[in-house]
Structure 1
Amino acid sequence: MQFYASCPKGVEALLIEELTSLGATNLKEHPSHIVFEGDLELAYKACLYSRLANRIYLCLLDEEINSVEDMYQKVNSIEWSWHFDMQQTFVVDAIARKNSDIRHSGFAAQKVKDALVDYYKDRYEQRPSVDKDNPDYRIHAIVNGRQLKVGIDLAGRSLHQRGYRPTSGRAPIKENLAAALLIRAGWPELSKQGYSFHDPMCGTGTLLVEAVMIACDMAPGLFNPSFSFENWKQHDAELWQTTVATARRQFNKNKLAINNRFIGSDSHRKSLELAKEVIRNADFGDLIELKEQDIRRPKLEVFNEPGLLVSNPPYAERLGEEDEVMQLYRDFGEYIKSHCIGWQAAIITNEPVFAKAMGMRSHKQYKFKNGAIDCQLYLFDVKDENFYKPFDPTVVNPDWDKNLSDGAVMLKNRIIKNQQRLKSYLKQNDVTCYRLYDADLPEYSAVIDVYDDMVHIQEYAPPKDIPAKVAQRRLNEIVRVTSGLLQIPEAEIALKQRQRQKGDWQYQKQSEEEQFQVVNEQGLQFYVNLNRYLDTGLFLDHRKTRKMIMAEAKEKRFLNLFAYTGSVSVYAAKGGAKTTTVDMSKTYLNWAIKNFGLNNIPIYGHEFIQSDCLQWLDEAQGQRTYDLIFLDPPTFSNSKRMDTTFDVQRDQVDLIEKTMNLLDSKGKLYFSNNFKKFEMEKELLEMFEVQEITARTLPIDFQKSRNHHRCWLIQHKS
């Protein structure tokens, strides 16, 4: 008989070893599943004993298919009546990949269902019923290119669901992944040697329960020995009962003989309460000790006996958590070094920098998937010779320039060159907020902006063909080199990934930190927030544009459309203009008002209007006139507050014509946008005097930038 077993990614090799130990033969590894052969007793043992598999399938079909019709015919040809009666309910699950005819898993499942139903209708003029919630049996199909596998799910549920966890609530780690980590950490052998086991951040206790099960050689299926194959026509009830009885007898014997110590601790009382329930359900209360303990203030005594520590510490899954989690790993490292000398240790995490923060050299690493998260298991020998002082990102690393890669050396030299090129310009123009680097080297694709004594780094999303590890290493080098050259601790550098903007995504919050700082620009002051939004509140490439408008603003009526945080309005007001500032965002208008206050500009006589600029333009036609206008629309917007989408290339004629209707006959419109391929429509060139002045408005630090504005001066024809 042929079977196949599915499992989490990274567990395939371990599952092969497990199935082999149960008596499987002719094993073949595939991504996320293993094909193997054996008899009915092996199938029962696999369902009962497997710690690692998700599901075990009896393979009914494993052939190539040439079309959708061919798939239907082959599934229809299976003798389904050998396996199930019409009175029994079923459901079909499918996975489809790399097949041009069958592109969707749902379509594949539908075709398999049709073939199965038609089998019964053709022979018995009746059909079995589908039950998606509680079927008597589950059919599974895999379409991988031209290869089709169809099987019966023997267990009827994922085998990671042992039965000792409450059905409600999400576990931070699934039971079969927990078992895989323990096996990789060497626990099966260490437990036989009498080692103790400790999880100091045990959460709800999954690793503890799985560790006891391995030490007792307990078959996981004993918690809930009820499987779908009991509804199968070929089921051998006597063989199954014998298999269960043998497993139970062996477990009871082993449990009495166990002498290992199992200790779990956590600082969260609610987690410990749930862990107690889980351990009670598993009937391991007499074997596992639980202690409420914060690893930063340990209550447990130093361990003198040999042991294994395995834990799944928290990940930084939300933006802004990195610093807090990094400190947790530093504290965790100190706890292990002080309490577990001579032990083995293993931790799983999603970021290498977290593992490094523990200050221990790992001798082995294994890749795993914890749900959808790419993770790595690190194994440690807890010995003095493997300890080091972890890097502290809250201070400047004195050795930042040691052992740099060739690429990082090139990056360092380029930034130094840029510093030298900009030095005199910055001093002469009283500029302290500027662009230091803009993807000058293609491999290091990011922008580095300086805001007084702060740094803001935006990484451009790397191409899909660049491995994630390589992209992360390069980004780490950008941060390291910038920190060293500017002598700013890495923890104080604001870091964001900049992607292709869609709609109003550029205005979305990037962090929950409400950190506003005041920066200086050419004698004026502005609030910036380097953490919360993709953009900081001050567009540095418009520095010269703002100054040009200030020079022309005296006694003028000034309009700022799509005003953002109102920095151009501040310049115009300081230059002597009465300003009207229009933006759809209340947040940014309030920010603009604060910028006025910061520069001691009374807001009396200045207007701040919260409105969709396109709608406001329609309403202002024939009602208002301005001498000076700054128009800086987004490239594209589909904000929920707008009735329609906006595209600056598509909608430019309507936008500029309506804006020019508000401009005095002798006035000036400065029109700017960030669309590199923008082309002014011929119709506008015929209606108005149009002159591109981008070169005049770009500061020296943006003249080589890959993403800067373009700017036009538009006036009425005389």
Structure 2
Amino acid sequence: MADIQLITPASWDQYELIDSGDFQKLERFGEYVLARPEPQAIWNKSLTDTEWERQAHAVFRRDRQSPERGDWQTSPDMRDPWYVSFKQAGLNLKFKLALTNFKHVGLFPEQADNWAYIYRKIKAIASNVPQPRVLNLFAYTGGASLAARQAGADVTHVDAVKPVISWARENMDHSELDNIRWVVEDAVKFVRREVRRGNRYNGMILDPPAYGRGPDGEKWVLEEQLNDLLKSCADLLDRDDFFFIINLYSLGFSSLILENLIGQTFGKVPNPEWGELYMDDASHKRLPLGVFYRFASV
């Protein structure tokens, strides 16, 4: 099993996992430090509560009536939104960050290693395919789409939430990129239609949530629908020049589940890598942030 160490704070000066524990994490995004819930940080904090309070510019407080929603308490000098850059591995990207009532800020920094992987694979595939076609499903605010576009790919970005698509488009503009195809649609419906049309993609990226709703109320339940979705994705992936990435952040899902699903769906794949995504905090505690599987023809 490939256990991938992500790009560390030392090589990405715009992000740092400062501490984790007591079901929370303390992170620095650019000039601001945030404290927010993290269900997998079941150990104790390394820093004191006083130190967390001293450092944090914004603290997320859950709504007692909702397990998902909440509000941010911010310091008077904090701007919202704000911006961070990612300049590594040939990439030069800029992201808008904002405080949402679902605790997210529009960026998942643990995906940085996948952005670098996408960039490398597209550059390698381009020796055979002048402009590789890439499909990003459940694409959120578009970090992977931006990486693919900057590498020269023809990118289709699919997400069911229109405001998220607008956010991704802003990130494209801030990164001085263009010509990403934006699709507001249920991912399952889109993939099935592309299969019927006989389309193919050189790269596919999936980052599905545990639960979700499409723009017309379509229900998504990861463990019930992932198997069928992967089968459709196998029909879309180019047979000669390709890469494939799937990430899951769902408690209880292991990388072994992905290994079994990929093996059944795609058969023996070239250059497989799979394992846990994690980030080290400053006290060297490893915070798990999901599982992944990826493979490529090059």
TM bin (shorter chain): 0.7 to 0.9
Quick check: which one's helix share is greater? 1
Corresponding residue for residue 12 of structure 2:
430
Q: What are the within-5 Å matches in structure 2 for residues 265-276 of structure 1?
A: none
Change (3 A) 1:547 1:684: closer
How far is 1:675 from its partner? 2.1
TM-score normalised according to structure 2 size: 0.75
Residue aligning to 1:37: none
Contact kept in structure 2, 1:565 and 1:589, CA below 8 Å: yes
- Name the SS for the 1:680 alignment partner: helix
**Which of 663, 688, 692 is matched with 2:237 structurally?**
663
CA distance in 2, matches of 1:631, 1:676: 17
Query: Which residue number in structure 2 is paired with residue 357 of structure 1?
Result: none
Could you state the TM-score of these two structures normalised by the residue count of structure 1?
0.33
Q: 1:426 to 1:652 in 2, by over 3 A?
A: same
- Quote the residue 1:710 is aligned against: 291
For 2:172 and 2:133, how far apart are their aligned partners in 1? 17
| Shift in Å, 1:687 | 3.5
Distance 2:63 2:34 in 1: 12
For residues 648-668 of structure 1, the C-alpha deviation after alignment (integer angstroms, 9 at most, x for no partner) is 223221011111211101312
Distance 1:684 1:569, change over 3 A: closer
Q: 1:459 aligns with which of 18, 25, 37?
A: 37
Alpha-carbon separation, structure 2, partners of 1:521 and 1:539: 12
The counterpart of 2:258, out of the listed 680, 683, 692, is 680
> Counterpart amino acid of 1:577?
A
Gaps of 5+ in 2: 1-5, 40-44, 124-130
Tell me which residue corresponds to 1:613.
187
Counterpart for residue 628 of structure 1: 203
* Separation of aligned partners in 2, 1:673 and 1:588: 19
CA distance in 2 between partners of 1:631 and 1:561 (Å) = 5
Change (3 A) 1:711 1:684: closer
1:520 alignment partner, one of 85, 95, 114: 85
Which residue in 2 is equivalent to 1:398? none
SS at match of 1:565: coil
Q: Map 1:47-126; keep pairs closer than 5 Å.
A: none
1:568 is aligned to 2:150: no
Would you say how many aligned residue pairs link Structure 1 and Structure 2?
A: 262
Q: How does 1:77-476 map to 2 (within 5 A)?
A: 425-427=8-10, 429-439=11-21, 444-459=22-37
Q: Deviations over 1:332-353 (max 9, x none)?
A: xxxxxxxxxxxxxxxxxxxxxx
Secondary structure, in 3 states, of the residue corresponding to 2:224?
coil
Say whether residues 1:643 and 2:226 are aligned partners. no
Which residue, 222, 226, 229 being the options, matches 1:652? 226
Q: Aligned letter for 2:293?
A: W
Provide the rounded CA distance (Å) in 1 between the counterparts of 2:121 and 2:193: 27
Indicate how the Cα distance of structure 1 residues 588 and 509 shifts in structure 2: closer, same or farther if over 3 A, else same.
farther
- The residue identity in structure 2 corresponding to 1:482 is W
Distance 1:592 1:636, change over 3 A: same
Determine which of 543, 550, 553 is the counterpart of 2:119: 550
Q: Which amino acid aligns with 2:19?
A: Y
Q: CA contact under 8 A between 2:94 and 2:174: conserved in structure 1?
A: yes
CA gap of 1:425–1:631, structure 2 versus 1, over 3 A, is closer
Instruction: State the match for 1:529 in structure 2.
Output: 98
User: Quick check: 1:591 aligned with 2:173?
Assistant: no
User: Is the 1:622–1:662 Cα contact (8 Å) retained in structure 2?
Assistant: no
Query: What 5-or-longer segments of structure 1 have no aligned partner?
Result: 1-421, 462-473
Tell me the distance in 1 between the aligned counterparts of 2:104 and 2:162: 16
SS in 2 for 1:563: coil
**For residues 98 and 30 of structure 2, what CA distance do their matches in structure 1 show?**
13
Alignment correspondent of 1:482: 52
C-alpha separation in 1, matches of 2:294 and 2:275: 9
Deviation at 1:683, TM superposition (A): 6.1
Match of 1:141 in 2: none
More strand by share: 2
Aligned residues of 1:564 and 1:583 also touching (Cα < 8 A): yes
For residues 418-440 of structure 1, the C-alpha deviation after alignment (integer angstroms, 9 at most, x for no partner) is xxxx9x9533x23321322221x
Greater relative contact order (Cα < 8 A, sep 6+): 2
| Counterpart amino acid of residue 85 in structure 2 | N
Is this contact kept in 2: 1:460–1:498, CA < 8 A?
Answer: no
1:339 match: none
**Cα 1:528/1:630, change in 2 over 3 Å:** same
- Structure 2 residue aligned with 1:200: none
Residue 638 of structure 1: CA displacement?
4.9
Q: Against the structure 1 CA distance between its residues 457 and 628, is the aligned structure 2 distance closer, same or farther, given a 3 Å change threshold?
A: same
Other-structure match for 2:176:
600
Task: Using the TM superposition, give the Cα deviation of residue 596 of structure 1 relative to its aligned residue in structure 2, in angstroms.
Answer: 0.6
CA RMSD of the aligned region, Å?
3.5
Q: Is the 8 A contact 1:676 1:710 kept in 2?
A: no
Equivalent residues of 2:138, 2:158 under 8 A apart: yes
Q: CA deviation at 1:532?
A: 4.3
Shift of 1:515: 2.3
Larger Rg: 1
Q: Could you say if the C-alpha distance between residues 450 and 616 of structure 1 is closer, same or farther in structure 2, counting changes exceeding 3 Å?
A: same
Shift in Å at residue 579 of structure 1?
Answer: 0.7
Q: Which amino acid aligns with 2:33?
A: V
Alpha-carbon distance, 1:715 to partner = 6.2
